Amino acid sequence: MRRRTSANAGKRGVKSSPLAVIDLFAGIGGLALGFLEASSSGQADFDVRLLVDKDIEARETFKRNYPAIPYLVADIAQCSGAALRERVGLGARDELHILVGGPPCQAFSRVGKRVLADPRNALVLDFLRLVKDLRPLVVLMENVPLIMTAFDGVVIEEINEALSELGYSATAEIATASDYGVPQFRKRALVVAYRNDLGVVPAFPAATHRKIDYAARLPQRKKTTCHNGLSEFISVEDAISDLPPLSAGGGEECAFYTTPPRTEYQRWAREGSIGIFNHRVRGHSEEYLKKISVIKEGCRNASLGDDERFSDNYFSQAYGRLHRRGIAHTITANFSNPGSGRFLHYRDLRAITVREAARFQSFRDKFVFHGFHLTQMRHVGNAVPVLLAREFALKIAADVREAGVQNVRRNGRPKSGWKETPELRSRIMRAVHGKNTGAELKLRQALSKLGVRGYRLHPTKVPGCPDVYFPSQKLAVFIDGCFWHGCPKCYRAPKSRKKYWALKVKRNKDRDAENRARCAQLGIRVVRVWEHDINTRCAMVAQQIAKKLAQNGKKR
């Protein structure tokens, strides 16, 4: 029988089965470790069934730390949902509760096509394909912050649209790791999606630690124990001051602690560890040490005088020294090179070690990194901060527990006894997207191809908040969903709660007529387009709108 790996597995008093988790594009398992941390806290019960990645060295590191948890070395593009189900022991009617992963999204440019259609983004499509195949209750996807802003958010809109079409309600935001007790000012984009039949509106976990606007100003601030109910941020000194001082080229792969822990974070990091691992620093020449010795604590090359500055060609954080009362900047995969970021130790004349970087990434000391030094740096720099993942795991566990897993539909069919309460219906309806739908995106792309510019999206001051509005021509374009607005061609009345839906659609139609009348009073022309027209003849609809604009006798 397969060994259970949940932290609470086998404990008395745990009545419900643990929530099954699969981690794709896992690396060394930062996301998976966050779920295991949530389990060890006693507030959740997760069973990490499988990690998948093609990085053999990452698997070696993870398996040496967690030998009982399966790790599959494979190309995600070659994996099928059925094969993953079989590998983790889930039958066709068994629920996979949570699917997590960080698929690389490399292309942030598009010329006449959808961003996800770019071959460099194929792994994102593979992740979505496995969401479709596995039908998990919850999806958690992690990526770089740029994915949120590229092309005015079109990339993330396409991902949310794809999840919506698969039957999920999703939300996407940028999370800052320091808000969740990580001693690092690291930002990551995360997408949280719940299957619609779970009846949960997705939301990010509330911050646990004081929000920090400008990391550079932290050294001037006085730390307090609490701020508006939030814990104080974890500083560089809080995180690593107990680790032995080192000179350039010094340190060992394994050593004993020489001082007791000085902070709660250090006590947490040491828990379960027999010593200090990976605390070894890169060697620096005497000339190089002299070069960096002029950089004071909390300062950087850019702040040096003209006669001391190395060059003006480095980016802003290059050759920066940490400040003990500040927090670490984003840990990259090349932190042993001070020229690649703010990676100089606040006290010692050297770059930070792998263990210090791991502390900033909120890995416990018992997690040992293996392989060459460059491999260790790559694994640390590319990982998701463990405590950031833990807070999302706890939020997911609370939401699933509140919804009641026993009430969830299995394989698309309602379980006997499942009832839709008014409260549940209200929560589901609030999760329905009202802006930036797939039809809106198609129309905007078609208008762009025609060179039509100068429009605004969802202006609240225009009656009805049109989907597209041209202020100079006073032309408002509304895209009416075929179901919600009662399309005479496509609308099919639901078989249940007929009176409810008939009344709701009638109210929408009445509101449409009212908004048209209000627009007419303001001299605003209105164009209403059915959703099915966008899906079947979007180019023609865009041309009709262009003609309307031309009729006004003004340039587009």
Annotated catalytic residues are 105
Distance CA 9, CA 3 (A): 10
Assess contact for 401 and 51: CB atoms under 8 A.
no
Strands 251-255 and 230-231, by their bridges, are unpaired
In degrees, rounded to 5, the angle at the alpha carbon of residue 389 between the alpha carbons of residues 388 and 390 is: 90
Assess contact for 105 and 150: CB atoms under 8 A.
no
At 477 the three-state DSSP class reads strand
- Tokens 């997911």 identify what position? 396
Assess contact for 279 and 251: CB atoms under 8 A.
yes
- Tokens 């970087």 identify what position? 357
Assess contact for 63 and 371: CB atoms under 8 A.
no
Distance set, CA 45 to CA 49, 271, 341 (Å): 13, 20, 38
Distance CA 267, CA 305 (A): 40
What lies within 8 Å, CB to CB, of 1 at 6+ separation is none
For 407, phi and psi rounded to 5 degrees? -95, 5
Assess contact for 455 and 447: CB atoms under 8 A.
yes
Distance set, CA 337 to CA 51, 288, 322, 348, 374 (Å): 31, 11, 14, 15, 11
Tokens of 455: 């429009």
- Identify each DSSP E strand in 197-281 by its residue range: 226-227, 230-231, 251-255, 276-280
What lies within 8 Å, CB to CB, of 67 at 6+ separation is none
Distance CA 468, CA 538 (A): 14
